[in-house]
Amino acid sequence: MTAIKPILLAEDNPRDAELAMAAMEEQQIADKVVLCHDGAEVLDYLYCRGQFTSRLKGNPAVVFLDLKMPKVNGLEVLRAIKSDATLRPIPVVMLTSSREERDLSESYSLGANAYVVKPVEFHQFVSAVKELGMFWGVINEPPPERSGSGH
Amino acid sequence: MTRDFQSESSTPTASATTSQPQLPHTRTREPESLLVSTSALRREPLWRSPILWFRTLTIERRILAGFGLVFVGILIISTVSYRNTSIVVANSKLDTRSHELVRLLAGIDVTMDEAENNHRRYLVTGESLYLDAYWNVVEQKPKFLQYLANLTEGSPEQQQRIDRLEHLIDRQLAAEAAAIDQLVSHGFQAVKQLALEGAAKEELRDIHRLIAEMEMSEQQALQRRIMVSASTTTRTITLLGIGAVLQLVLLAAVYYLIRHDITERRRVAAELQRRGELLEAANKELESFSYSVSHDLRAPLRHIDGYASLLRKAVTESLNEKAARYLQTISDSAKQMGQLIDDLLVFSRMGRQEMLRTTVNLDQLVKTVLYDLRLDLQGREISWTIEQLPEVPGDPAMLRQVFMNLIANAVKFTSTRPIAKIEIGIDRRLPREIVLFVRDNGVGFDMQYAGKLFGVFQRLHRADEFEGTGIGLANVRRIVHRHGGRTWAEGEPDKGATFYVALPTRRPRT
């Protein structure tokens, strides 16, 4: 069941997105990744509206959130997810350039499951994204869905 | 006058008058007014000097001086009023005594008169009942006199008169006693003449005169005292009035003179608050600036390195050595800039970050630093000399950064030595501060550049000699300054360097 759960990557910067996808490709999990270009798209995906109206139901295995995004920023998306009972179990990993204490503490207090600073060095970035994708998308057992679990 | 005038001749008016000697009239008159006006111009009027003195004082001293003056004024007024009132009270007591004295004297006058008249009647009739008045005087005399002496205490003039009065009374009584004796022994004929004229006629007349004199004197004293009391009372009232006005004027003057300071202080406080707000705004701005630096500047660097790597991978077959080196340089530069940004952010955070105030065990701290540096120490031969270090007040994370930088520097700059020597210890321990040092036998530096060592991005070695961004020692200095301490360094090219950190042994305020 877990294998078909997608990885939601929210990244407004196309270069960062491309680099991240390159890393995912190396790990052969690129086909699982759904890319959103801003916070609004993430929420559209999660609530199955807009361009995602006809997508397969069910929560993603994990959401990788950038902090700085147009329209709805990462912290706002995080707040929306963690204050919705159906969405709250989704693991959310902040993936950002910011090492500021303020962002760290705010993210964790809103309920982020992890906080990863994007390394400047590409090799480190690739290995970080690979490890994250592997861990959260494959190794980690996602929470059971209330509607889809069949119990 | 003329000499004075000539001494003042430097003023234009004076020289104008000397050039008109044909007017002696104006010559003699003018200098006077001239003198007055020039002296008024030349120095401050005398009454201003206390004000000038007052202006040199601090506000606390001004208030103290002002209230001191008011207090002294009140003290003087109170003392004088008390003294005056005491005089009036004492005078009224004396007045009562004077009235008593006058009454007593009148009584004595009548009694003596009665004694003489009844004595004459006795001489004529031989009826001893008439002698009652006489015996009464004999009996009462010491009491009268004692009373008189009491009432005239403090007035020697009156007491002399009392002595004379006693003498006269004694003489009257003696004359009357002699007449009585004569009547008893020789019969009426012997005293007939005395009975007609009165036995002590002259003495009685003298007594009347003396008593009149005493009364007059006492009345005069009474009058004098009334006048004194009246004028004293008037003076007291005037003094109180003038005193009250003076105190008010003084208080008003003090207020006037400190008013400036008070408004000035208020203005300064407002200004200080305004600047504080500006500073806070600037700090916030700086924070958001470093935030965006940390976030936005890092992304393109990541892209440069990332795409360089992707490019290398894509063209790896056709890449010659030169092109591979170019790609490597692009990656290295991006990494280096990333490191610079990180270091700069740490440096900026060090200045803003809240300081923890606790006690730091430097021994423990150096041990953890050495543990953290273990990877850099691999493959190195270093002889360590580490003294027992004390506990100091400060922020553990910040002080850790200090020793991390100093020790890492020592390790780095001794990398060219076959056997590196690094020494960490206490240079001296003073009551107020403790001076610690980190010494190495590394490449050292020229003392000429000692001032540049602790500057941001200041490096004394080429990048290809020793790597680094040149921010470590700037951080050290910033942290030590925030702890209220000092930093300096000594060195010699190729002989090694010693870095000193002086930390206060007591917690710095704020």
DSSP code at position A3: G
Residue B464's pLDDT is: 67
The CATH number that applies at residue B461 is 3.30.565.10
- From A67, A98, A121, residue closest to B305, measured CB to CB: A121
According to the model, what pLDDT value does residue B403 have?
Answer: 93
> Which of A22, A100, A121 shows the shortest C-beta gap to B294?
A100
pLDDT tens per residue across span B80-134: 889 988 988 998 888 898 899 999 999 989 988 888 888 888 888 888 888 888 8
- B14 and B117 both lie in a single domain: no
Domain-ending residue, one of B208, B231, B251: B251
**pLDDT for residue A29:** 80
Pairing verdict, β A7-10 and A62-65: parallel
Q: In terms of domains, do B367 and B239 share one?
A: no
Of the candidates B307, B338, B345, the beta carbon closest to that of A120 is on B338
Between B387 and B260, the higher pLDDT residue: B387
Res B67: pLDDT? 82
User: H/E element holding B25?
Assistant: helix B24-42
Q: What is the pLDDT of residue B44?
A: 60
Residue B275 in any domain: the answer is no
Q: Do residue A97 and residue B302 have CB atoms under 8 angstroms apart?
A: yes
* Token code pair at residue A132: 């994250």
DSSP designation for A27: T
- In a shared domain, residues B362 and B220: no
Q: How far is B339 from chain A (nearest CA, A)?
A: 9
pLDDT over threshold 70, residue B20: no
Q: Which of the residues B284, B295, B304 would you substitute to probe the A interface, choosing the one with the greatest number of A C-beta atoms within 10 Å?
A: B295
Q: How many domains are contained in chain B?
A: 3
The C-alpha angle with vertex B94 and arms to B90 and B96, in degrees rounded to 5, equals: 120
Q: Which residues of B touch A102 (CB under 8 A)?
A: 291
* B363 in the same domain as B247: no
| Least Cα separation, residue A123 to chain B (angstroms) | 8
Q: Which CATH class is domain A2-139?
A: alpha beta
- The set of residues, in sequence order, having a beta carbon less than 8 Å from that of B247 and lying 6+ positions away, is B70, B73, B74
Of the partner residues A19, A99, A120, the one whose CB lies closest to the CB of residue B301: A120
Choose one of B228, B251, B274: the last residue of a domain: B251
Distances (CA, A) of B382 to B94, B245, B439, B491: 108, 87, 13, 19
Say whether both B7 and B107 belong to one domain. Answer: no
DSSP tally for chain B: helices H, then strands E: 15, 7
Q: What does pTM read for this prediction? A: 0.50
CA pair distance B27, B31, nearest whole angstrom: 7
Q: Which residues of chain A have pLDDT under 70?
A: 1-4, 146-151
Structure tokens at B421: 């020597």
**Domain identity same for B37 and B85:** no
Q: What is the pLDDT of residue B40?
A: 46
Domain of B165, in residue numbers: 68-251
By percentage, how much of chain B surpasses pLDDT 90?
A: 20
Q: Say yes or no: B9 and B123 in one domain.
A: no
Sheet with A62-65, edge to edge strand ranges = A33-36, A7-10, A62-65, A92-96, A114-117
- The DSSP secondary-structure symbol of A85 reads T
Residue in A11, A122, A130 to test binding to B, most B beta-carbons within 10 Å: A122
Residue A13, chain B, CB below 8 Å: the answer is yes
The pLDDT value recorded for residue B22 is 45
Ranking A66-75, B44-53, B177-186, B350-359 by mean pLDDT, the lowest is: B44-53
Specify the pLDDT at position B475: 87
Q: Is the confidence at residue B6, as pLDDT, over 60? A: no
Establish if B304 belongs to a structural domain.
no
Chain A with chain B: Cβ pairs closer than 8 A = 62
Instruction: Decide if B299 and A123 are in contact by the 8 Å CB cutoff.
Output: no
Residues B83 and B186 in one domain: yes
Question: With bands split at pLDDT 50, 70 and 90, how would you rate the model's confidence at B507?
Answer: low
pLDDT at position B32 over 80: no
Q: How many residues does chain B have?
A: 510
Asked, for residue B291, whether it belongs to a domain, the answer is no
Report yes or no: B448 and B493 within 8 Å, Cβ to Cβ.
no
Contact A15 B331 (CB under 8 A): no
Q: Average pLDDT over chain B, rounded to whole?
A: 82
For the cut 80, the answer to whether the pLDDT of residue B26 exceeds it is no
CB of A96 within 8 Å of a chain B CB? The answer is yes
Mean pLDDT computed over B443-458: 82
Look at residue B214 and tell me if it is in a domain: yes
Same domain, B83 and B39: no
- From B299, B307, B308, residue closest to A13, measured CB to CB: B299
- Of the residues B251, B286, B312, the one at which a domain ends: B251
ipTM here: 0.76
* SS3 at position B193: helix
Tell me: pLDDT of B39 over 50: no
Residues B226 and B106 in one domain: yes
CB < 8 Å to A96, chain B: 295
> Which residues is B17 bridged to in the sheet?
none
Residue B501 pLDDT level (bands cut at 50, 70, 90) = very high
Please indicate, yes or no, whether residues B144 and B187 belong to a single structural domain of this protein.
Answer: yes
**Which residues of chain A neighbour B345 with C-beta distances below 8 Å?**
99
Contact at CB, B298 and A125, closer than 8 angstroms = no
> Within B293-414, where are the H helices?
298-314, 321-352, 362-372, 374-377, 396-413
Same domain, B179 and B76: yes
What angle do helix axes A122-134 and A14-26 make, rounded to 10 degrees? Answer: 60
Domain boundaries, chain A: 2-139
A97 close contact with B: CB closer than 8 A: yes
Q: What is the pLDDT of residues B285-308, one digit of tens each?
A: 887 777 677 677 888 888 898 898
- The C-alpha torsion from A103 through A105 and A106 to A111, rounded to 10°, is 120
Residues of A in contact with B303 (CB under 8 A): 15-16, 19
